Amino acid sequence: MTSWIQSSDFSSEDIKPLESFEDFETYIDNLLKEQFDKSMQELEVSNKESCPWGIGVDMETNYGLHVTREDFSMNTYAVLVQETVKKKLFGFIPVSKTNEQWENDLSYDQMKVAVAGYYSRKQKMLTL
């Protein structure tokens, strides 16, 4: 499992694997979000290329999670869950497709509920 935080300037840093929702919740509750928001705002004002800061989690399965800051002035977040599905085209040509599910305009608490659902689904996948 890998986890990382990405800044608004596209730089990223690996962090301790967020193996459970409790790990994720502790990490984001203690994260200095104001510093990331300030950096994001400075880049936007200066018209430099930027992206929303966020946290990524790769379960080393076909399932991944990205939580990004959507709008710091409204204190909203977006959650992206990606699932790679493998199929056989014409019954023998292996292909894969990534399905994406976005949840937008989430409050801090709503974002945490969405992330908890991701970890719950991940746990079910691992026990199959």
Chain segment 75-90, per-residue pLDDT in tens: 999 999 988 888 888 8
Q: What is the dihedral of CA 70, 11, 114, 81, to 10 degrees?
A: 110
Given a cut of 50, whether residue 127 has pLDDT beyond it is no
Q: Which residues fall within 8 angstroms of residue 20, CB to CB, at 6 or more apart?
A: 119
Indicate yes or no: pTM above 0.75: yes
Residue 49, H or E segment? none
Q: Does residue 104 carry a pLDDT above 90? A: yes
Instruction: Tell me the pLDDT tens digit for each residue of 48-58.
Output: 999 999 999 98
Q: Is the pLDDT assigned to residue 39 strictly greater than 50?
A: yes
Residue type, 76: T
Provide the number of structural domains found in the chain.
Answer: 1
In the predicted model, is pLDDT for residue 61 greater than 80?
Answer: no
Task: Using alpha carbons, list the distances in angstroms from residue 112 to 92, 99, 120.
Answer: 41, 21, 12
pLDDT over threshold 80, residue 126: no
Q: Which residue did the predictor score with more confidence, 63 or 100?
A: 100
Average pLDDT over residues 101-120: 94
Question: Which domain range does residue 15 map to?
Answer: 2-127
Cβ atoms 79, 65 nearer than 8 A: yes
Per-residue pLDDT, 122: 65
